[in-house]
Amino acid sequence: MKKEKIKVYLYTRVSTTMQIDGYSLDAQKTKMKAFCDYNEYEIAGEYEDAGKSGKSIEGRVSFNQMMGDIKSGKDGVSYVLVFKLSRFGRNAAEMRQMYLQHYK
């Protein structure tokens, strides 16, 4: 019997300094897609915010769309994959606070 694949979203974000340091959107996607292939994850959607700070979710249109899609259960995703935790937000405590303020 074939097992159902785990569904994931990919989220990529860069500030201009990150692109210089070799973490371009394409480089992030390439690594995460290889990870998904290896683990047999199904990519249910891709979201990206180019040139956006991780300090706030304000102005991060794709991030907010992704969070809305998760909250609605649109694709039944199990995980959001990011290249580095800092691509999701500056730190876990800040991201938790932003989540509680905007999505609960």
Please compute, for residue 78, the number of CA atoms within 13 A of its CA located in the half-sphere on the CB side.
Answer: 8
| Domain presence at residue 1 | no
CATH code for the domain in which residue 45 is found: 3.40.50.1390
pLDDT, tens digit, 9 for 90 and up, residues 13-49 = 887 665 546 678 888 899 999 999 999 999 999 999 8
The neighbour count for residue 28, using CB atoms within 10 Å, is 22
Domain of 56 in residue numbering reads as 7-103
Q: CB-based burial of residue 81 (10 Å sphere; 0-12 exposed, 13-18 middle, 19+ buried)? A: buried
Asked if residue 75 belongs to a domain, the reply is yes
Q: Contact 81/10 with Cβ under 8 angstroms?
A: yes
Q: Model pTM greater than 0.95?
A: no
Query: Tell me: the pLDDT tens digits for 40-83?
Result: 999 999 999 887 666 677 778 898 899 899 999 999 999 999 98
